[in-house]
């Protein structure tokens, strides 16, 4: 903790020295955001000294973690104690602070909600330069409750105390095929409501949509022993295995990072799923953060756009989003998405929030399904960038759903504040960032400033 306190003093001092006309930005080695923006006049705050696990308490089953610590680092610290965070987002380099302030989700979310719901305490550098300890039971409760989905516009998480849960060494997976989206959504609701499948309790639930007549729900259950374990960190590819077998076994660590090796399925855009390329690719490079850097380079230099023009291909739009709809509207969303966008696969992950969090107002106790889709789609003749993303935004909210803000958004200002609860946001913003030192949520997530 003494090392942590020194790091806190250093970032607070650095923050105070930033000129008033420069927007503060955290200098991070990796990012899982897809809101690329013109940096303009910014000042970087170094976070390199805020990326450690401070302690793990196996008796209390909690961990004290600095805000820029990655989930990969935290999991490596907790698994030797037979523990893991309640919700471990899919990608290794997602940070604890990023998951809390920007939301996260995984296959335990049907029972345990989103990552911030297992947070007990937040130490935050606020917009006005204070260091605040916020909990659900102290005088900074409003900040604690508004921090999720605030994306660094209320402050930066310096330290997080998070609850942990017990694990077993292995996870047994069962992939259940469906040929009808309505039946798939009904089965997902029954599994999540009963927390069981075929008479056995389940610990994990997610799924993949490959098309209107091929989709799968994957249920996972902790196990003390396994007859074998699969390895999807080399030549074999996890998402492809879902269609090839109905039962599988993974170590708990490999289960938590099953999506990271191929960035779900997005590695195919870089040729990494071709056997020859894959055999030559060092395993240390088959990671989501490496692919994300390649995307940044492509955007910076416009390589894909140049190749498309050279080949006479239509202009493509980046469609990278996560959205949620109530489970009973999930089949409607999949029908819309197949007809109007046509991208596959689509990740499906059920979630249920235990209470109301102001800036991402899911109805407590209600089951939603997160649909994740990430790729490029050719634009119809006469349409411009933003065409598909606007269609998706309109559809999601017509179905009583919500959209995560880590990627591009196109909302009008009044619509945005209605959907993301400006009535709750602005009193907290005025209390902890009265001079507007940090961008507000609309400017950061929609205008991309």
Whether pLDDT at 42 is above 70: no
Q: What single-letter DSSP state applies at residue 285?
A: G
**Given CA atoms 151, 164, 90, 3 in this order, what sign does their dihedral have?**
positive
Q: Are 86 and 112 in contact (CB under 8 A)?
A: yes
Residue 184, domain extent: 170-258
CA angle centred on 98, ends 236 and 261, rounded to 5°: 5
- Dump pLDDT digits (tens) for 402-440: 999 998 999 999 999 999 999 999 999 999 999 999 999
Q: Does any domain span residue 118?
A: yes
| Whether residue 315 sits in one domain with residue 220 | no
d(CA 54, CA 63): 8
The pLDDT of residue 294: 85
- Dump pLDDT digits (tens) for 256-277: 999 999 999 999 988 999 999 9
What CATH number is associated with residue 368? 3.30.70.2520
Average confidence (pLDDT) over 147-165:
96
pLDDT band at 48 (very low <50, low <70, confident <90, very high): confident
| Whether residue 221 sits in one domain with residue 160 | no
**Given CA atoms 366, 371, 244, 295 in this order, what sign does their dihedral have?**
negative
Q: What percent of the chain has pLDDT over 70?
A: 94
| Whether residue 161 sits in one domain with residue 59 | yes
* Pairing status of strand 42-46 against strand 23-27: parallel
pLDDT band at 41 (very low <50, low <70, confident <90, very high): low
| Whether residue 249 sits in one domain with residue 188 | yes
DSSP H/E element including 339: helix 330-340
- What is the chain's mean pLDDT, rounded? 92
* Pairing status of strand 247-251 against strand 214-223: unpaired
SS3 379: coil
| Whether residue 130 sits in one domain with residue 117 | yes
- Dump pLDDT digits (tens) for 315-359: 889 999 999 999 999 999 999 999 999 999 999 999 999 999 999
- Dump pLDDT digits (tens) for 277-288: 999 999 999 998
Distances (CA, A) of 249 to 172, 222, 226, 263, 349: 5, 10, 7, 20, 20
**Count of structural domains, the chain:** 3
The pLDDT of residue 324: 96
DSSP code string of 110-155: HHH-SGGGGEEEEEEEETTS-EEEE-TTSTTHHHHHH-TT-TTSSE
Q: Does any domain span residue 27?
A: yes
| Whether residue 122 sits in one domain with residue 35 | yes
Whether pLDDT at 161 is above 60: yes
| Whether residue 149 sits in one domain with residue 34 | yes
């Amino acid at each position: 903790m003494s090392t942590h306190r020194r790091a806190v003093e250093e970032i607070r001092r650095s923050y105070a020295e930033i000129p008033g006309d420069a927007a503060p930005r955290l200098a991070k080695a990796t990012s899982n955001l897809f809101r690329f923006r013109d940096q303009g006049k910014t000042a970087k705050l170094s976070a390199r000294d805020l990326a450690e696990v401070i302690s793990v308490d196996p008796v209390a089953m909690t961990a004290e973690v600095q805000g820029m610590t990655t989930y990969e680092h935290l999991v490596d610290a907790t698994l030797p104690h037979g523990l893991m965070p309640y919700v471990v987002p899919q990608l290794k380099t997602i940070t604890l602070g990023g998951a809390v302030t920007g939301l996260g989700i995984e296959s335990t979310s049907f029972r345990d909600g989103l990552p911030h719901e297992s947070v007990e305490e937040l130490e935050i550098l606020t917009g006005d330069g204070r260091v605040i300890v916020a909990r659900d039971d102290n005088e900074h409760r409003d900040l604690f409750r508004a921090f999720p989905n605030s994306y660094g516009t209320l402050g930066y998480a310096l330290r997080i105390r998070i609850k942990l849960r017990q694990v077993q060494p292995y996870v047994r997976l069962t992939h259940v095929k469906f040929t009808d989206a309505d039946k798939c959504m009904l089965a997902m609701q029954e599994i999540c409501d009963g927390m069981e499948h075929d008479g056995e309790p389940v610990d994990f639930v997610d799924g993949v949509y490959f098309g209107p007549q091929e989709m799968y729900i994957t249920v996972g259950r902790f196990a003390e022993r396994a007859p074998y374990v699969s390895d999807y960190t080399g030549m074999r590819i996890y998402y492809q295995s879902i269609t090839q077998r109905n039962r599988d076994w993974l170590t708990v660590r490999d289960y938590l990072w099953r999506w990271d090796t191929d960035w779900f399925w997005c590695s195919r855009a870089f040729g990494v799923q071709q056997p020859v390329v894959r055999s030559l690719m060092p395993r240390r490079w088959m990671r989501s953060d490496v692919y994300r850097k390649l995307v940044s380079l492509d955007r910076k230099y416009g390589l894909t756009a140049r190749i498309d023009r050279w080949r006479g291909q239509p202009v493509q739009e980046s469609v990278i989003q996560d959205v949620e709809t109530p489970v009973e509207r999930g089949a409607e969303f999949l029908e819309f998405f197949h007809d109007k966008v046509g991208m596959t696969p689509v990740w499906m992950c059920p979630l249920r929030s235990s209470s109301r969090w102001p800036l991402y107002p899911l109805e407590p106790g209600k089951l939603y399904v997160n649909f994740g889709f990430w790729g490029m789609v050719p634009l119809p003749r006469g349409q411009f960038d933003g065409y598909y993303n606007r269609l998706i935004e309109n559809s999601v909210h017509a179905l009583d759903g919500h959209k995560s803000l880590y990627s591009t958004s196109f909302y009008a200002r009044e619509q945005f504040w209605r959907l993301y609860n400006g009535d709750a946001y602005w009193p907290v913003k005025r209390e902890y960032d009265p001079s507007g030192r940090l961008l507000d949520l609309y400017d950061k997530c929609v205008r991309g400033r």
